[in-house]
């Protein structure tokens, strides 16, 4: 399979991850488009045997965070649009996922919704596997509406 064919097969994964990062179809499509523009130009520089999927997801993540920093600098002041404005929810689950912090949401999508292993998600995000597991667990608790577990030695609510 050629790189182009593999990229085409990865489009649904890229769109899902872009939507998880941006919470906006328009912004997700723009992020996927920008990622693919850069990727198509650089795909020939990848070493043989490199995982194209992981490379594309890392590239997309890097582009998202770089643009988020630029937006934070250029969109300040009264009346400036909030970068975290989300569309109205269609059901409880998408609304709950959209309310998560972006670092929890992206890992929940990678591990739970896209089925990536914790190790792969850690590689994509540049994190330790234990941190990935912690953030996925926290995201699941927040969506379920449960409070965070009390730390060892810390009195619980009935103490």
Question: How high is the pLDDT of residue 151?
Answer: 55
% pLDDT > 70, the chain: 77
Indicate the domain borders of the chain: 1-77, 87-145
Q: With a cut of 80, say whether residue 11 has pLDDT above it.
A: yes
Q: With a cut of 80, say whether residue 104 has pLDDT above it.
A: yes
Question: How high is the pLDDT of residue 156?
Answer: 44
pLDDT category of residue 158 using cuts at 50, 70 and 90: very low
CB 13 within 8 A of CB 53: yes
Interior CA angle at 85 toward 62 and 67, to 5°?
20
The neighbour count for residue 10, using CB atoms within 10 Å, is 18
CB 39 within 8 A of CB 3: no
pLDDT category of residue 123 using cuts at 50, 70 and 90: very high
pLDDT category of residue 129 using cuts at 50, 70 and 90: very high
Question: How high is the pLDDT of residue 46?
Answer: 79
pLDDT category of residue 150 using cuts at 50, 70 and 90: low
Q: With a cut of 50, say whether residue 138 has pLDDT above it.
A: yes
What's the CATH fold of domain 87-145?
A: Arc Repressor Mutant, subunit A (1.10.10)
CATH of 1-77, one of 3.40.309.10, 1.10.1740.10, 3.40.50.720, 3.20.20.70: 1.10.1740.10
Q: With a cut of 70, say whether residue 72 has pLDDT above it.
A: no
CB 138 within 8 A of CB 144: no
Q: With a cut of 90, say whether residue 43 has pLDDT above it.
A: no
């Amino acid at each position: 399979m050629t790189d182009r064919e593999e990229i085409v097969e990865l489009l649904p994964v890229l769109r899902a991850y872009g939507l998880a990062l941006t919470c906006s179809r328009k912004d997700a499509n723009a992020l996927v488009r920008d990622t693919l523009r850069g990727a198509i130009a650089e795909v020939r520089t990848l070493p043989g045997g490199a995982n194209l999927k992981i490379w594309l997801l890392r590239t997309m993540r890097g582009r998202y965070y770089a643009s988020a920093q630029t937006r934070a600098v250029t969109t300040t002041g009264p009346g400036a649009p909030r970068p975290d404005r989300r569309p109205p929810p269609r059901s409880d689950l998408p609304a709950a996922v959209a309310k998560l912090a972006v670092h929890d949401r992206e890992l929940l999508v990678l591990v739970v919704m896209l089925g990536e292993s914790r190790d792969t998600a850690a590689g994509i995000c540049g994190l330790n596997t234990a941190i990935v597991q912690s953030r996925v667990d926290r995201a699941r608790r927040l969506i379920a509406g449960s409070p965070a577990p009390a730390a060892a030695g810390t009195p619980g609510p009935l103490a």
